[in-house]
Amino acid sequence: MTETPHLPGAPLLLWAPQAWLADGWRERVLMQVGADGHWTAVTPDCPAPPEAVELSGPVLPGLVNGHSHAFQRAFAGLAERRSGEHDDFWTWRDRMYGVALRITPEQLRAVAAQLYAELLQGGYTQVCEFHYLHHAPDGRPHPAANGQAHGDPMAMSHALVQAAADAGIGLTMLPVLYERAGFAQPSLRDDQRRFATDVDTVLALRDGIRALDAPGVTAGVAIHSLRAAAPDSITRLAAALDGDAAPIHIHIAEQTAEVDDCLAATGRRPIEWLLQHLPLDARWQLVHATHATADEIDAVARSGAGVVICPSTEANLGDGLTDLPRWLAQGTVLSLGSDSHVGRAWPAELRLLEEGQRLALRRRNVAAAPAAGDDATAAHLFRRVRDGGAMAAGFARWGLQPGARADLLVLDTRAPGLLGVPPSHRLDALVFATDAPAFAEVWVAGRPVVSNGRHRAQSLLREGFAGAMAALWPA
C-alpha cells in the first residue's frame, strides 16, 4: 500500500485506477472518507490529487458475511472422518456440541479473532454473528465480572465483541432464541445446556450489546429454528420487535428431516408455517432455505424477506442444493454466509454456489441474466449478494457510495488467476479462476486492516488461536 501523509481532521482521500460502483467498473475513482468512517463522496473519472492515497489496484466493496457461528471455527476440518455406516448433519451436530460444551470466553475471543481476520482476508468486512453459545459449561451464567452481584450472562457476547475489535471487522450480533431440542421435545438436551434462552433473555442480550456502544457493532436478534423455539415464543418475540428496524434471522428448511418433522408436528412445511404465522418483511433473513418449494420461494420474494445461502457449509454437511434459478428470477434478496467456517472467502462461496447448480442442471452460467443486460455470472451474483448482505446486517447503504461505511477491497492483479486477465473480466476470474484470496488490501471504516494480503495483527492473532486450539484439542 502506498502511504501518504494524512493531516488529522482533514478528509481522507483515496484514489483507485478502477472501482466497482453501483453500475459496475468505473475508471479513475476518487473516494473521500469522512471523520465518521463513512464515504462522503465517490467520484469516477477523476485524476489523482497529490494529497490522495493511491491504492495499488482495482477496488471492490467488501461484502457482508450474513451467517456465522464463530466458535465452530475451532471445529473446522475435524469432522471429516466416518466410523459408522452413516454420517450426516445430525451426527456432525452431535460431535460439534463437544466443542460447544468446552470453549471458554477467553478461547472464544481467540478463535473468533482469528476467524474474523481470515474473513477480512477473504473479502468480508462485516459479519452477522448468529450467537447461541451463552452460558458456562454447566449451563449457569458465567462468574460475575466487574463487581457484578450475579453471574455475567454476556460473557460470551463480550468475547465476540472484543474479537471483532481485535480483528477490525464490523459485527452484527444476533442473540438467539433457543429453548427446546425439537418439535416434540419441550426442553433442551443436556448437551445443549449452554444455549438456553427465552424471549426476555434474548431482548436483554440485544439491549446489553447495544448499550456497549462499541464501534462497528450493532445488534438484532435471531430464532434458532422452528424446531428449537415454541410457536408462542416466536410470535411473542416478533411482537416485541414491532418498530425495531434491526434484522431478524432464523435457520429454516436446511435439512429434509427438519421439513418432515415440521410437517408431522404442524401440518405445514417450515417456510410455509413461517409465512402463515408471521408478518415477514425486509428485516427477516431466512438462513439456508435449502428445501423450499416454488410456491414458498414466490411468497418469500413477495414478502421482501431475504435468504442467506451458505454454500460451503451446506456442501460440507450434505444439506442439498437450493433452487437458485428461481430465487434469482423472483428477485429475492440474497446474501452469503460462511456458517461453520469450512470456507472463509466469498469468491469461493460464489464459485460453489454457481458450480453446484451447473452440476445439478448440467448447464453453464446458470446465474447469468443476459435478458436483463447482465451476461456475466460473477457480476450478477456479486451485485445480488452485495445488496442482500447489507439488508442481512441491517444497513440502509452499503458499497462504494456516499453514506455507506468506507470499506473496500484492493485486488492484487498479479495474483494467480488474475495475472494478465483483461480488466473487464477481473471479477469473473476472481470467482472462477482464483484458488486463494487475491485481496492485497482491505479497509474497514476508512482504515487499512489487511496489507500485502496479510492481516496487520496476523502473528498475534495466530498465536492466540493456536493456544486456544491446543487447549481444546490436547494431543
In order along its 475 residues, the chain shows pLDDT tens digits of: 444 444 445 789 999 999 999 989 999 999 999 999 999 999 999 999 999 999 999 999 999 999 999 999 999 999 999 988 899 999 999 999 999 999 999 999 999 999 999 999 999 999 999 999 999 999 999 987 665 656 789 999 999 999 999 999 999 999 999 999 999 999 999 999 999 999 999 999 999 999 999 999 999 999 999 999 999 999 999 999 999 999 999 999 999 999 999 999 999 999 999 999 999 999 999 999 999 999 999 999 999 999 999 999 999 999 999 999 999 999 999 999 999 999 999 999 999 999 999 999 999 999 999 999 999 999 999 999 999 999 999 999 999 999 999 999 999 999 999 999 999 999 999 999 999 889 999 999 999 999 999 999 999 999 999 999 999 999 7
Compute and round to an integer the Cα radius of gyration of the chain.
22
Grid cell for residue 4:
501518504
Residue 83, pLDDT score: 87
The pair phi, psi for residue 135, each rounded to 5°, is -90, 170
Catalytic residue among 319, 339, 407, 412: 339
Residue at grid coordinates 421435545 = 185
- Is 288 one of the annotated active-site residues of the chain? yes
Q: How far is CA 116 from the centre of its chain?
A: 10
**What is the chain's mean pLDDT, rounded?**
95
Tell me how far apart the alpha carbons of residues 63 and 209 are, in angstroms, rounded to a whole number: 23
How far apart CA 261 and CA 257 sit, in angstroms, is 6
Listed as own residue / partner, the contacts of 7-14 with beta carbons closer than 8 Å and 24 or more positions apart are 9/35, 11/35, 11/40, 12/53, 12/446, 13/49, 13/51, 13/52, 13/53, 14/52, 14/53, 14/55, 14/408, 14/443
CA distance readout (Å), 381 to 349, 387, 431: 11, 10, 10
Angstrom distance (rounded) from CA 194 to CA 69: 14
Q: Are 243 and 279 in contact (CB under 8 A)?
A: no
Q: Give me the pLDDT at residue 354, please.
A: 98
Top-tier CATH class for 12-61+402-459: mainly beta
Is the separation of the CB atoms in 334 and 282 below 8 Å? no
Q: Residue 84's pLDDT is what?
A: 87
Q: Which residue has the cell 418449494?
A: 293
How far from the centroid of its chain's Cα atoms is residue 398's Cα? 15
- Sign of the C-alpha dihedral, residues 382, 388, 394, 396? positive
**Per-residue pLDDT, 149:** 55
**Nine-digit cell string for 239:** 411482537
Report d(CA 201, CA 204) in Å as an integer: 5
The three cell numbers of residue 375 are 451476461
Classify burial at 190, counting beta carbons within 10 Å of its beta carbon; exposed 0-12, middle 13-18, buried 19 or more.
exposed
Q: What is the pTM of this model?
A: 0.96
DSSP state for residue 194 in the 8-state scheme: G
**What pLDDT is attached to residue 3?**
47
**38 catalytic residue (yes or no):** no
Give the separation between CA 182 and CA 331, rounded to whole angstroms.
33
Is the CB of residue 209 less than 8 Å from the CB of residue 217?
yes
Which residue among the candidates 288, 341, 380, 455 is catalytic per the annotation? 288
* CB contact at 8 A, 74 and 127: no
Beta strands in 310-371 (DSSP E): 333-336
